[in-house]
Amino acid sequence: MRRAGMLVFAGMLAAVAALRLPAQEVIDRIAARIENDIILLSEVRALGRYQQLVDGKSESDAQILDRLIDQWIVRNEAETAQFPHPSDADIAAGMERVEKSFTSPQEYETRKKQTGLSAADVRNMVAAQLYLSNYLDSRFRPSAQIDSKDVEDFYQKAVVPRAEARGQAPPSLDAARDYIHEALVQRGINEQADRWLNESRSRVKVNKFVDQGTK
């Protein structure tokens, strides 16, 4: 089974699908073997182009390959569990969030063209990312327990100092409570996912063919 997608994470996770390569990239090769599957260099470069789109920069090929390996692990388990794929409406909402992260539709289209990504490419990336992040959320959210003291501590130690440093009045605790609670839940999910992936990597046979210094 092949994979892509946040962690992922915390950022999680940015997802990948096989994308059309620019004309000059006519030769593909295996970037890694993972169990009975492979990750292609074209997949590494595709995720790099998506990172360029949403972040303005990309990681090295070696770093991206590590992300793809982690995503393969997550997707393999999600598919074994027959976890449902995101709906068309959820994917459309995800694509809208990507576009709205730019200052204008024109800037988005320009950046998309510069990276060589089509609308279908972005849709595939968003769909894969949603699939993986939704699975991790369903797996680890129930055990991410947050109590009122956790929320209050975060408010006093993070929200208030940050607002004061900007010369702003902090929001009230009640106004910030739901946001803080969800942020702490997401942090808990990410921490659990990281521990699980660290354990899972040791049980998966991987052979990499991308140098650590490759960009």
**CATH number of the structural domain spanning residue 88:** 1.10.4030.10
Distances (CA, A) of 193 to 9, 46, 142, 181, 186: 8, 24, 13, 18, 10
- For residue 38, being part of any structural domain is answered with yes
β-partners of residue 44 are: none
Domain count, the chain: 1
Structure tokens at 170: 């902090």
The answer, yes or no, to whether residue 190 has pLDDT greater than 90, is yes
Assign 34 to helix, strand or coil: strand
In this predicted model, what pLDDT tens digit does every residue of 139-154 receive, in sequence order?
Answer: 999 999 999 999 999 9
DSSP-based three-state secondary structure for 38: strand
- 52 part of a folded domain: yes
Q: Are 86 and 13 in contact (CB under 8 A)?
A: no
- For residue 103, the enclosing domain spans 8-143+194-208
CA 60 to chain CA centroid, Å, is 16
State pLDDT tens for residues 89-106: 999 999 999 999 999 999
